[in-house]
Amino acid sequence: MNSLNEQRAQIVAGQLFSLRPENVTPTTDFNISPEYTLIAHLPEHINDSIRTIVSDLKSRFPEHYYYAPDQYHLTVVPIPHGLDPEHIIKSISPVLMNWHLPICARGVVANRLQAGVVLYPEEETLIAQRMKLRAALGIPEQAYTAHNPIWEELQQRFLLL
What confidence tier does 145 reach under pLDDT thresholds 50, 70, 90? very low
Q: Summarize pLDDT for 34-51 with one digit per residue, the tens.
A: 778 888 888 888 888 888
Which CA distances in Å does 86 have to 90, 92, 97? 6, 10, 16
pLDDT number for residue 33: 65
Report angle CA 71, 77, 83 to the nearest 5 degrees: 110
Range 128-147 average pLDDT = 74
pLDDT number for residue 14: 75
Q: Summarize pLDDT for 81-98 with one digit per residue, the tens.
A: 888 999 999 999 999 988
Rounded CA gap, 138 and 154, in Å? 24
Rounded CA gap, 78 and 7, in Å? 32
